[in-house]
Every structure is written in structure tokens, then in C-alpha cells.
Amino acid sequence: MSTKGERTRNEIVEAAKTLFYHKGYTNTSFSDIVDKTNIRRGNINHYFKTKSDILEAVISQRIAEYKSLFSGWEIQYSDPKDRLHCFVQMVASNSSNLIRYGCPIGTLNAELGKEACDFQSNARSLFDVFINWLTQQFKQINKPRQAQARALHLLSRTEGISVIAHVYNNSDLITVEVKLLHKWIDEL
Amino acid sequence: MSTKGERTRNEIVEAAKTLFYHKGYTNTSFSDIVDKTNIRRGNINHYFKTKSDILEAVISQRIAEYKSLFSGWEIQYSDPKDRLHCFVQMVASNSSNLIRYGCPIGTLNAELGKEACDFQSNARSLFDVFINWLTQQFKQINKPRQAQARALHLLSRTEGISVIAHVYNNSDLITVEVKLLHKWIDEL
DNA sequence: GTCTATATAATGATAGAC
DNA sequence: GTCTATCATTATATAGAC
């Protein structure tokens, strides 16, 4: 059972998570969060002293979600190739969001990786979750010494797909490239 | 010969181009431009009524630069494959900037493609320059009907490389992936 | 064409009542 | 824990002197 405070805090994080994704971190204001929730401004500052504290909470929340998603695949599929197919298929399943807002972790890193921003390492930790999990899967297939390189290659491919799909608001490239990636996994 | 006004206007555009790339469009203020140039605030508004007018000028400037770069390659190299190798090599040559700030056109599109932003189509026109030129090169090699798909594939690959290199501030992936792309071009 | 001074709005953050 | 009211800062943009 969650306390009232925990529920309020979670409502803020969920609203901020969506807003940061849809509008970007800098372009999201406290007022946006107030408008999206039923929480008044002063109360937000009761749970989060600064805006960047909200960002950290959002990133932690996303990390937890992705770890949970990946754990589920490990329970559901014993073959690491099947898990990698799940990962690639996630891109296709999520195409409508990718087209409209870009990759949630890629666009966040693009923004937070710019000059005079203290949060690049926070955003990078999201990528670490992906790379670490992918590396583990590749290690279980073959050539474990190439596992991390393969993980970086795969994530690079999916990020590139997201960029183009977002720029052109079009899913055709996703369809084509996802097929190529499934084939690439099968041929490992 | 350029007039004094043209030189002042150009100084603003050049400073804004760098700042938008290094800090992002939203995070760049008029004060930043004032600090980077010897031009006072009121004078900037003499040349550009709004901040978005500066953005349009910066995008036009980048479009002109890339078109000029590509034209140079067409003069320098008669084989379209050699021109494509130039394109891929540009990623490697520019790695220090890509690592620090990401792809200039990719990160701009990531930012301007978000919700409640009126400039996605402006930013997309930068990608059009790349796609159109790449498509022309692939058409001259073989299978002209696949030319645009190949252009999208190549740009997707290079954008993905830029994202990962930027996130990890590391050029190792660039080295590896650029080799793969050179090989891919040779085998077309 | 260039400048100073200022208007106006929005931002992140705080103080303190209930 | 929740709220209203407000502060201090910064932003874009404008007015008008030189």
C-alpha cells in the first residue's frame, strides 16, 4: 500500500516523464506539470526542491521500467536470440511514438549532452541499461568478446532508425530496417 | 564586396549557428549572442525581429554550406562511390565535434521535432539536402529504384553512430562503423 | 546602422498560512 | 501534506536617442 505522499510524488514523476519526452526537458515548465496534474505549484516543490531533482526521478523511473521489461523477457524467453528479437520488435511496436517524439532516451541524451548541462551522465545511465542488457544477451549467443561491440552496433542502428523516422514522421524506414535487424540476429 | 550591414548580419548568424549547435536552440539566449559577438542587443533585433528568424537564417546558412560541400565533391570525384566514401569519411573527420555535441542536424531535429514547436519542417529541410544528394549518388551506381531507400539507410546509420558517440563521448564506435560503411559502399 | 533603456511575460524557487 | 502569494531572475521584444 502506498501513502498519499508517495502517490502524489509518483503523479508528478509520471506527468514530468511524459512532458520531458513530448516537449523536451528545457521546454517543460513547472506550470506544465501543474496543468497536467491536480497538484499545485508549491506542493511540487515540497517533493522536489529543484527541477533537476524531478529529472533525476524521471530518469530513475525509466531505468526501473526498462530493467523490469528486460527481466520479463528473460523469464519469458530462454533463447537470447528471441530476447533480442523482442528488443528489435519493440522499435516497431512503438513506432507511433518514435515518429512523433523520437526515441525517449535518444532525444533526452541529445538535449542533456549539450554544453553547459550538468546532466549528461544521468542521461547516459539510461543507455548503460540498454548496452549492459544487450551485451549480456550477445555473450550468451557466441563470440563473447564481441558482445559489447555488437550491443553498440545494434543500439546504434535502432537509434538511427528513430532519428530518421522522427524527422520524416514516417514509419516506412522502421519497417524496412527492423526486418534487416531481425535477419542480422538470426544470422549471428 | 559586402556592406557593413551584411557583415554584421553574418556575424550574428555565425555566432548563433555555433551556439545553437553547442547549447541547443532553446538554451541559447540573445545575451549569449551578445557575449559571443561585439554586437549590442538592440542591434541584433534590427536584423532579426524574432529569435526564430535567427533560426531560419542559421538553417539556410547550413543548407548552403552542405550544398556547397557536396558540389565540391561532385567536381572533385567523378565516381559516385568515391563521393559516398567522402560522405562517410566526413563522419570520421568530424568525430571530435560529434562526440562533444552530437550531429549538428540530428540534434537540431531532435529538439525542433518535439511537441509545440513550429520549426520541425525547417529543420527537416536540412535532412532533405542530405537525402536528395545521397539519392542522386546511389542512382548513378545501380538499381536506381532502390536509391532513396539506400540513402535513408546510410543516413540512418550515420545518425545512429553520432548518437552513440555523443552519449559516450567516445570515437571507438565511429572507427568501427565507418569501416563497415565503406565496405558496404564498395560492395554495392 | 548602432546603441541604451525599458516593457512585458515567464521562469525556477521560496515563505508561510492552514 | 497542501495550498496561496510572492520573490528574484531571466527571457524575448520594443522604443527611441544618436
**Grid-cell match 530496417, residue found:** A177
| Number of Cβ pairs < 8 A linking chain A and chain B | 127
Number of domains in chain A: 2
Indicate if B7 and B82 belong to the same structural domain.
no
DSSP string, B23-84: H-STT--HHHHHHHSS--HHHHHHH-SSHHHHHHHHHHHHHHHHHHHHHHHHHH-SSHHHHH
Per-residue pLDDT, A2: 82
Q: In this structure, is the CB of residue B45 within 7 Å of any atom belonging to strand C?
A: yes
Residue given cell 532533405 in the structure block? B128
What is the distance between the alpha carbons of residues B83 and A141, in angstroms, rounded to a whole number?
Answer: 38
> A interface mutation test: which of B163, B169, B172 has the most A CBs within 10 A?
B163
B25 min Cα distance to partner chain A (Å): 10
Host domain of residue B111:
61-186
Q: A44 and A64 share a domain?
A: no
Q: Are residues A30 and A69 in the same domain?
A: no
Of how many residues is chain B composed?
A: 188
HSE, CB side, 13 Å, CA atoms: give it for residue A26. Answer: 23
B56 in a domain, yes or no? no
Residue of A nearest to B97 (CA): A114
Residues of B with CB below 8 A from A124's CB? 167-168
Same domain, B26 and B1: yes
Q: Would you state the pLDDT for residue B1?
A: 63
Q: Is residue A88 part of a domain?
A: yes
pLDDT by residue (tens digit) across A95-111? 999 999 999 999 999 99
Query: Does the residue B55 lie in any domain?
Result: no
Chain D positions with any atom < 7 A from a protein CB: 1-6, 10-16
Q: For position A1, what pLDDT does the model report?
A: 64
| CATH number, position A42 | 1.10.10.60
pLDDT of residue A124: 98
Residue A55 lies inside a defined structural domain of this protein: no
Chain B hits for A164, CB-CB cut-off 8 Å, are: 127, 152, 155-156, 159
The reply to whether A91 and A150 lie within a common domain is yes
Residues B37 and B107 in one domain: no
B51 CB below 7 A from strand D atoms: yes
Check whether residue A50 has its CB closer than 7 Å to nucleic acid strand C: yes
- The C1' atom of D14 and the CA atom of B56 lie apart, in whole Å, by 21
HSE of B76, CA atoms in CB hemisphere, 13 A: 12
Check whether residue A34 has its CB closer than 7 Å to nucleic acid strand C. Answer: no
Q: Which residues 6+ apart lie within 8 Å of A7 measured at CB? A: none
CATH number at residue B115: 1.10.357.10
3-state helix, strand and coil shares in percent for chain B, rounded to the nearest 5 = 80, 0, 20
**Rounded CA separation B91/B156 (Å):** 13
Q: Report DSSP state, residue A148.
A: H
Smallest Cα–C1' distance to nucleotide D15: which residue has it? B42
Residues 6+ apart with CB under 8 A from A12: A33, A37, A39, A44, A47, A48, A54, A57
Q: What is the pTM of this model?
A: 0.98
What does the alpha-carbon distance between residue B157 and residue B151 come to, in Å, rounded to a whole number? 10
Q: Which residue has the higher pLDDT, B16 or A2?
A: B16
Nearest to B114 by CA among A22, A178, A119: A22
> Which chain B residues contact residue A166 at CB under 8 A?
109-110, 113
- Among A98, A107, A90, CA closest to A170: A98
Identify the residue whose Cα has the smallest distance to the C1' of C4.
B42
Least CB–CB distance from A159: residue in B101, B127, B163: B163
pLDDT digits (tens, 9 = 90+) for A103-154: 999 999 999 999 999 999 999 999 999 999 999 999 999 999 999 999 999 9
C-alpha closest to that of A180 among A155, A146, A157: A157
Q: Is the CB of B52 under 7 A from strand D?
A: yes
In this predicted structure, what is the pLDDT of residue A178?
Answer: 98
φ/ψ (deg, to 5) at A37: -120, -175
Identify nearest nucleotide to residue A28 by CA to C1′ distance: C11
Contact residues on chain A for B152, CB-CB shorter than 8 A: 164, 173
**Strand C contact with A49 (CB < 7 A):** yes
Query: Based on the domain organization, do A82 and A137 belong to the same domain?
Result: yes
**H-helix segments, chain A:** 4-23, 30-36, 41-47, 51-76, 80-93, 95-101, 104-112, 120-139, 147-168, 172-186
Q: Has residue B130 been placed in a domain?
A: yes
B31 strand C contact, CB < 7 Å: no
pLDDT in tens, A20-74: 999 999 999 999 999 999 999 999 999 999 999 999 999 999 999 999 999 999 9
Mean pLDDT of each 10-residue bin along chain B, 188 residues long? 89 98 98 97 96 98 98 98 98 98 98 97 98 98 98 98 98 98 98
> Testing the interface with A: which of B99, B114, B119, B135 to mutate, by most A Cβ within 10 A?
B114
Give the closest residue to D13 (Cα–C1′). Answer: B50
